[in-house]
C-alpha cells in the first residue's frame, strides 16, 4: 500500500467516523429529550437511569449504522475527494502522472467494504438483538408488557390475541383466542380465554404452540375431547394429554412463534434474510408481496449502495469542485432522488403494481446502473 493510499484511507475513515458519531449524537440528543419521562419511569426507584439510557442507545447505535452506512460512505467519499481538490493535492498528483481513478481507488474500495460490513451487520448482528431493538424507552424493563397486534394462524384460522406480551417469559397475559366459525373447532364455543399463555416450541412428539393456563372458557376442560382439524389435533385438552396438561390447561397448536406474534411489523424489520425466507415458507404465516419485496431488497441493498457511490463520485471528479458545501448539496440531491425512486419501486411491488416482487426490488438497479456507468466515464479522464 502506497503512502497516497494510506493518506486517502485515513482521510476517508476519519470523515466517516466523524459523520457517524455526529449524526448519532444528534439522534440520541433529540430522541432522549423526547422520551426522557419514559426513561425516568422505566428506571423507577432504582436510580439507574443513566445505565438504562446507555443500554438503550448502545443497541440503537447498531441499528443506526445499518440505516446510514450507505449514505455516510458516499458523503465521506465525496468529502475526501473534494478536500484534496480544495488543497490542490489532486492537481499535484495528476501532474506526477497519477490518474484520478488511481487516486480515488482506495476510497472506492473502502466505501464498498463499508456497504458489505453493513450487510453483515444487518444479517448477523441485528437479528441477535431484535428483542432489544424493538423495545421502546418505556419498555426497557423486562417485566413490562407490550401490546399485541391481532394475528391469524393461516392454517387453522384461529385468531391469536391477548392483552400484553412479556418477552422474558414468552408469555401472553390474558390471552383471547377466537376459533373459526363454523368449523370443527367451535364445538365448545368460539373463544378460548385464560389467565396466561406460554409459547412452547416443538419438542419430541409435541408440536409447537401455546400452553393456556387457568382456562376460563370453555369450562370443565377435563371432560372434553381435543379439537381436531382434518384429523390433526389443534386444541389439545388435558383428557388426551394428562402427562403434560393439568385440568385447567389446554394447548393450542400453532406455527406462529411468540416473536412473530408479539413483535408485529418489527419482526420483519429486524429478522435476517434467512428468517424472512423461513417465515415465507411457514404455512401459518400468510405473508404477501410485502415480505417478498423485503427479501429481494435485502439481497439487492449492497448493490444499491455501491450504485449510489458511483452516482456521486463522478460529479465531484468531473466538475473538479473545491467547494465542500457544494459537494454536500450534490450528495443530498442524489440521495433524495435515489431513495425516492427506490421507495416508489418497492411500494409498487407491495401493492402489486408491478408483475413480481423481485422486479420491484431490482428495478432501481435497472434504472440507475446505466446512469452510474455513463457518469463513471468521467473518472477515466
Mind listing the pLDDT tens digit for each residue in 196-206?
999 999 888 88
Q: Is 249 exposed, middle or buried (0-12, 13-18, 19+ CB in 10 A)?
A: buried
pLDDT over 70, % of the chain? 92
Q: Does 297 fall in a domain?
A: yes
- Quote the Cα angle for 34-40-43, to 5°: 135
User: What's the CA gap between 349 and 290, in Å, rounded?
Assistant: 7
- Given pLDDT bands bounded at 50, 70 and 90, which one contains residue 141? low
| Cα–Cα distance measured from residue 36 to residue 104, given in angstroms and rounded to the nearest whole number | 44
Q: How far apart are CA 375 and CA 324, in angstroms?
A: 20
> What are residue 94's DSSP bridge partners?
none
Per the prediction, the chain carries an average pLDDT of 84
Domain boundary among 262, 279, 301: 262
Percent of the chain predicted with pLDDT > 90: 29
Tell which of 216, 245, 262 closes a domain.
262
290-314, pLDDT tens digit by residue?
888 889 999 999 999 999 988 888 8
Q: Would residue 141 count as lying in a domain?
A: no
- Does residue 276 lie in a domain region? no
Angle at 201 between CA 271 and CA 258, to 5 degrees: 45
Which structural domain, as residue segments, surrounds residue 87? Answer: 3-136+288-380
Residues 127 and 24 in one domain: yes
Mark whether 168 and 224 lie in a shared domain. Answer: yes
Based on the domain organization, do 247 and 308 belong to the same domain?
no
156/326: higher pLDDT: 156
Question: Which residue has 439522534 as its cell numbers?
Answer: 27
Q: How much is the pTM? A: 0.81
The pLDDT of residue 331 is above 80: no
Q: Are residues 227 and 306 in the same domain?
A: no
With a cut of 60, say whether residue 378 has pLDDT above it: no
Q: Do 131 and 156 lie in a common domain?
A: no
Whether residues 105 and 156 fall in one domain = no
Same-domain status, 15 and 44? yes
Mean pLDDT of 103-131: 91
> Does residue 129 contact residue 271 with C-beta atoms inside 8 Å?
no
Q: Domain check: are 221 and 303 in the same one? A: no
d(CA 114, CA 117): 5
Q: Residues 340-359, buried b or exposed e (16+ Cβ, 10 A)?
A: eebeebbebbbeeebeebbe
pLDDT-derived band of residue 144, with 50, 70 and 90 as boundaries?
low
Nearest to 19 by CA among 80, 76, 61: 76
Confidence at 193, pLDDT banded by 50, 70, 90:
very high
β-pairing, 171-178 vs 151-152, is: unpaired
For residues 227 and 318, membership in a common domain is answered with: no
Looking at 262, 297, 319, the residue that finishes a domain is 262
pLDDT at 288 over 80: no
Position 322 scores a pLDDT of 58
Q: How confident is the model at residue 115 (pLDDT cuts 50, 70, 90)?
A: very high
Higher model confidence: residue 213 or residue 184? 213
CA distance 66 to 130: 13
Query: Is 267 a member of any domain?
Result: no
Q: Do 224 and 294 belong to one domain?
A: no
Output the pLDDT for position 209.
93
Both 173 and 206 in one domain: the answer is yes
pLDDT of residue 122: 92
CA-based nearest residue to 72, from 7, 122, 24, 123: 24
328 in a structural domain: yes
The 10s digit of each residue's pLDDT in 361-376 is: 999 999 999 988 887 7
Does 122 lie in the same domain as 10? yes
Whether 273 is covered by a domain: the verdict is: no
How far lies 361's CA from each of 83, 306, 342, 345, 364, in Å? 35, 15, 8, 7, 7
The number of folded domains in the chain is: 2
Q: Is residue 109 part of a domain?
A: yes
Do residues 18 and 63 lie in contact, with contact meaning Cβ atoms separated by under 8 Å? no
- Does the residue 346 lie in any domain? yes
Amino acid at each position: 500500500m502506497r503512502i497516497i493510499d494510506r493518506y486517502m484511507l485515513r482521510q476517508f475513515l476519519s470523515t466517516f467516523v466523524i459523520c457517524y458519531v455526529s449524526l448519532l449524537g444528534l439522534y440520541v440528543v433529540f430522541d432522549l429529550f423526547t422520551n426522557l419521562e419514559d426513561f425516568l419511569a422505566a428506571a423507577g426507584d432504582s436510580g439507574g437511569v443513566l445505565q438504562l439510557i446507555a443500554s438503550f442507545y448502545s443497541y440503537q447505535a447498531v441499528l443506526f449504522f445499518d440505516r446510514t452506512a450507505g449514505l455516510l460512505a458516499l458523503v465521506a467519499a465525496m468529502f475526501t475527494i473534494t478536500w484534496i481538490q480544495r488543497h490542490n493535492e489532486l492537481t499535484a498528483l495528476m501532474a506526477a502522472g497519477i490518474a484520478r481513478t488511481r487516486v480515488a481507488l482506495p476510497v472506492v474500495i473502502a466505501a464498498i467494504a463499508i456497504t458489505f460490513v453493513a450487510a453483515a451487520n444487518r444479517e448477523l448482528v441485528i437479528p441477535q438483538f431484535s428483542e432489544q431493538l424493538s423495545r421502546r424507552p418505556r419498555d426497557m424493563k423486562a417485566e413490562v408488557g407490550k401490546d399485541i397486534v391481532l394475528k391469524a394462524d393461516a392454517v387453522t384460522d384461529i385468531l391469536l390475541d391477548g392483552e400484553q406480551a412479556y418477552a422474558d417469559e414468552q408469555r401472553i397475559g390474558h390471552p383471547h383466542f377466537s376459533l373459526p366459525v363454523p368449523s370443527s373447532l367451535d364445538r365448545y364455543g368460539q373463544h378460548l380465554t385464560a389467565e396466561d399463555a406460554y409459547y412452547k416450541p416443538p419438542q419430541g412428539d409435541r408440536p409447537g404452540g401455546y400452553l393456556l393456563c387457568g382456562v376460563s372458557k370453555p369450562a370443565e376442560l377435563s371432560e372434553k375431547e381435543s379439537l381436531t382439524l382434518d384429523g390433526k389435533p389443534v386444541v389439545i385438552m388435558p383428557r388426551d394429554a394428562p402427562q403434560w396438561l393439568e385440568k385447567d390447561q389446554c394447548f393450542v397448536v400453532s406455527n406462529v412463534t411468540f416473536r412473530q406474534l408479539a413483535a408485529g411489523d418489527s419482526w420483519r424489520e429486524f429478522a435476517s434474510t434467512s428468517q424472512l425466507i423461513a417465515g415465507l415458507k411457514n404455512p401459518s404465516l400468510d405473508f404477501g408481496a410485502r415480505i417478498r419485496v423485503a427479501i429481494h431488497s435485502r439481497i439487492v441493498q449492497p448493490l444499491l449502495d455501491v450504485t449510489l457511490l458511483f452516482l456521486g463520485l463522478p460529479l465531484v471528479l468531473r466538475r473538479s469542485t473545491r467547494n465542500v458545501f457544494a459537494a454536500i448539496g450534490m450528495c443530498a440531491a442524489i440521495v433524495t432522488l435515489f431513495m425516492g425512486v427506490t421507495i416508489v419501486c418497492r411500494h409498487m411491488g407491495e401493492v402489486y403494481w408491478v408483475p413480481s416482487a423481485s422486479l420491484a426490488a431490482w428495478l432501481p438497479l435497472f434504472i440507475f446502473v446505466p446512469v452510474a456507468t455513463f457518469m463513471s466515464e468521467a473518472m477515466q479522464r
